[in-house]
Amino acid sequence: MKHKNKITVRILALCIAAAAFLQPARAAESQEAAVLAAVNHFYAALNQLFTGEVKPMTDLWSHAPDVTYMGPSGEFQSGWPQILKEWEFQGSKKLGGKVVPADIHIMLGTDMAVVCDIEQGENTNANGEVQKVSIRATNIFRKEGGQWKMIGHHTDMLPWLTPRNK
């Protein structure tokens, strides 16, 4: 009987050790899933922006002064007020179409995540012509108040989108 108790205690100790070992991996998987959800939220908000709806984008973004946006028109915005103005301008264009992420790669830190992907889909240009989209994108998220908020977005340029200041 003593032998069985020793084996049971050893098995229990191994199970506890295994659980302690696996817990950080499970936490990382949970955080990666949360970042992936934020990525999906961004692309859903972007597609709503193409219809003129700006609010989902404003809900997703951090409103901090250090946020940056370098979108497909080639312009650079820094700080939430500039980025909000850009999202409002883009929403007013009502580009239509849809863009989805492909080949998503997540690099996860404790409170920051960098996501690289390919944005694929289509929009409508100023002449009403449907234009294919296939550009590289880097999205940066920061955990704020327990939520993953976007703090940076950078894409390749689309030649049919022109900066509004030029």
Q: Hey, what CATH class is 26-155 in? A: alpha beta
Structural tokens at position 58: 């404003």
What pLDDT score was predicted for residue 6?
66
What pLDDT score was predicted for residue 17?
58
The residues with which 69 forms a beta bridge, in sequence order, are: 77, 153
What pLDDT score was predicted for residue 166?
41
Report the predicted TM-score, pTM, of the whole model to 2 decimal places. 0.81
| Low-confidence stretches of the chain (pLDDT beneath 50) | 165-166
What pLDDT score was predicted for residue 44?
98
Q: Classify the phi-psi angles of 103: left when phi > 0, otherwise alpha if psi is within -120 to 50, otherwise beta.
A: left
What pLDDT score was predicted for residue 42?
98
Phi and psi torsions of 68, nearest 5°: -135, 150
pLDDT in tens, 1-22: 565 666 666 666 665 655 666 5
**Domain limits of the chain?**
26-155
What pLDDT score was predicted for residue 35?
97
